[in-house]
Structure 1
Amino acid sequence: MSDEPAENIGTGPDGGGTETGFGADDAETRAEAIVDALGELYWQKAYGGRDALLCLVRTILSQNTSDVASQPAFDALLEHYGGTGDLAATLADADRERLAETIESAGLYNQKSRVIVECAEEVVADFGDAEAFDRFVREGDPHEVRERLLSIRGVGPKTADCVLLFSGGRDGVFPVDTHVHRVARRMGLAPANADHEAVREALEATVPAEKCGFGHTATIQFGREYCSARKPACLDGPEACPLYDRCDRIGVDPAGGVVVDPAEADG
Structure 2
Amino acid sequence: MVDEPAENISGGVGDGGGEVTFDPREAETRAEAVVDELGELYWRKAYGGQDAFECLVRTILSQNTSDVASQPAHDSLMARYGSTDDGTDLARTLADAEQSELAESIRSAGLYNQKSEMIIDAAAEIVGEFGSKQAFDAYVREEDPQTVRERLMAIRGVGPKTADCVLLFSGGRGGIFPVDTHVHRISRRMGLAPPSADHEGVREHLERDVPAEKCGFGHTAMLQFGREYCKARKPACLDGPEACPLYDYCDRVGVDEVEESVVDPAEVVADD
- Scaled by the length of structure 1, the TM-score of the pair is 0.98
Q: Match for 1:133 among 123, 132, 136?
A: 136
Q: Distance in 2 between matches of 1:248 and 1:122?
A: 44
Residue type matched to 1:145 in 2? V
Q: Match for 2:163 among 160, 164, 167?
A: 160
Q: Distance in 2 between matches of 1:246 and 1:44?
A: 19
CA change 1:165–1:260 in 2 (3 A) is same
Native 8 Å contact 1:9 1:220 kept in 2: no
Describe the superposition over 1:102-155 as per-residue Cα deviations: whole angstroms up to 9, x where unpaired: 100000000000100011001110000000000000111111100000000100
1:99-248 to 2 correspondences below 5 Å: 99-248=102-251
The answer to which of 21-30 and 6-15 deviates more is 6-15
- Give yes or no for the alignment of 1:21 onto 2:24: no
Native 8 Å contact 1:4 1:15 kept in 2: no
Deviation (angstroms), 1:32: 0.4
Q: Distance in 1 between matches of 2:120 and 2:185?
A: 32
Deviation (angstroms), 1:44: 0.6
Residue type matched to 2:254 in 1? G
The residue aligned with 2:263 is: 260
The CA RMSD over aligned residues, in Å, is 1.1
Deviation (angstroms), 1:23: 2.9
Deviation (angstroms), 1:249: 0.3
CA change 1:26–1:174 in 2 (3 A) is same
Native 8 Å contact 1:92 1:118 kept in 2: yes
SS at match of 2:3: coil
Native 8 Å contact 2:53 2:133 kept in 1: yes
Describe the superposition over 1:224-254 as per-residue Cα deviations: whole angstroms up to 9, x where unpaired: 0000000000000000000001100000011
Native 8 Å contact 1:186 1:250 kept in 2: yes
Native 8 Å contact 1:31 1:207 kept in 2: yes
* Unaligned 5+ runs, structure 2: none
Deviation (angstroms), 1:15: 5.9
The residue aligned with 1:46 is: 46
Describe the superposition over 1:72-93 as per-residue Cα deviations: whole angstroms up to 9, x where unpaired: 0000000000112211110000
- Give yes or no for the alignment of 1:62 onto 2:62: yes
Native 8 Å contact 2:8 2:67 kept in 1: yes
CA change 1:15–1:38 in 2 (3 A) is farther
- Scaled by the length of structure 2, the TM-score of the pair is 0.96
* Unaligned 5+ runs, structure 1: none
Native 8 Å contact 1:8 1:14 kept in 2: no
Q: Match for 1:88 among 64, 86, 91?
A: 91
Q: Distance in 1 between matches of 2:76 and 2:225?
A: 29
Q: Distance in 1 between matches of 2:72 and 2:221?
A: 23
Describe the superposition over 1:192-213 as per-residue Cα deviations: whole angstroms up to 9, x where unpaired: 0000000000100100011000
Identity %: 72
Aligned residues: 267
Native 8 Å contact 2:89 2:133 kept in 1: yes
SS at match of 2:116: helix
